[in-house]
A and B are shown apart, each in its own frame.
Chain A
Amino acid sequence: MEAAKPLARDVTGPPAASQRLDGTAFFVDDLGHMLTARHAVADCARIVVSKEGRAVAARVVALAASDIALIKVPRTLGLAAVFPRANTSVANDMVFAEAYDGLKPMLAHGGSLGNAFVDTTLRDPEHLVLRSNVTFGTSGAPVLDSRGLVEGVVSRRTTVDRVLAVDAVHAKSFLAAHGVRFQEDDRPQMSGTASRAHRAASISARVTCLQQ
């Protein structure tokens, strides 16, 4: 069995260059708060959020015991995510999760309804288990269900096609504990035929951890 691998992309350059780690983060309110993976933003000298050609500095607000973190930029760039009120993911539900940097080529080809499935054969009290082949840079990405609601936050890969995401219950609890007023709804936030890749692009951004 393959060891669990964080999905932040290590883009370390030559020794003289700064060490960089790229992940994904997404907006959770209209005030610039974002959720991402803890391992993508822990121990950074600087954090930069990049979206659509714009780069802004971010600061860590809180690190959770699980692999999620709350960061903040001056204002929300795009849409804020909406979470489900009830935890409703079932086996084989098709969901969407992708690194921010992986979205652009998808959008150029018309988008995507889904690229992963919920796997309930492996029980985990805190995580959503996905069958997915997402790779580096996806750490912290939102897991969108068919309604466009965020069911989890991508954490790490456990086998070649299994990915763990911190589930929405824990993510919401973490946000509430830090006073973030996030949106909840069980109704669809997008039409049934709309591309989840496009919604992911609207709510997420690249998060870069500069370690030196």
Chain B
Amino acid sequence: MLILRGTLALSFGLLILSPAPGHAQDANFRNPEQAPPSWAQFAKLVKYRFEEWIAADETVANRFRNWVIEHFGKENGPPPTLVVRAWPNPDGTVERVTFPALNDAGATEDLRTILKRGNVGEAPPPEMLQPLNLRFSLNLRKP
């Protein structure tokens, strides 16, 4: 069986995918190197949960992974990297996620369902800028 495993780069705050030199000083954005360790720890936990939820053996996750496997490398397949913005709630649930639509409405909706389905397990640091910007590489690896 193949599982989907994301590798990840992250940042915090309003959308900056490729921050320009001056952006590091933006009060609404932090690079991970400039963020407090508590933010980075929480982001690592979100990364772990997202990977676990995508790899879960249940209907929606299985369907999403099958779509990735079947369409990987094709023109209408998943992009090599995907930036997900996530807004976690104080209780550890995920309020909202956004990402560029995939080339399949069903796969897009499946991924949105997967990434909002559980509880991260910890509260986000109250001062942490949101959203979390998580960049996944959609690699297929054997477990």
Contact = CB atoms under 8 A, between A and B. Distances in A.
Contacts of A198: 121-123
B127 interface: yes
Nearest to A191: B125
A187 B125 CA distance: 14
Given A198-B121, A202-B122, A190 B41 contact: yes
A126 interface: no
B125 A202 contact: no
Chain A interface, DSSP helix/strand/loop, else mixed: loop
B36 A79 contact: no
B126 interface: yes
Nearest to B40: A189
A188 B127 CA distance: 13
A169 interface: no
A193 B45 contact: no
B44 interface: yes
Interface string B126-142: 11000000000000000
B90 to A, nearest CB: 11
A82 B45 CA distance: 14
Interface residues of A, number: 18
Interface of B: 36-38, 41-42, 44-45, 48, 121-123, 125-127
A68 to B, nearest CB: 23
Contact of B45 (A78, A187, A191, A195): A78
A188 B38 contact: yes
A124 interface: no
Contacts of A193: 126
A141 to B, nearest CB: 17
A78 B37 contact: no
Given A185-B37, A194-B38, A202-B121, 9 more contacts: A78-B48, A79-B45, A190-B38, A190-B41, A191-B38, A191-B125, A194-B122, A195-B123, A198-B123
Nearest to B120: A202
A202 B44 CA distance: 11
A189 B122 CA distance: 12
Interface string A165-200: 000000000000000000001011111011100110
A190 B45 contact: no
Nearest to B122: A198
A148 interface: yes
A41 B132 CA distance: 39
A201 interface: yes
A79 B48 CA distance: 8
Contact of A191 (B44, B121, B127): B127
Contacts of A76: 48
A141 B91 CA distance: 25
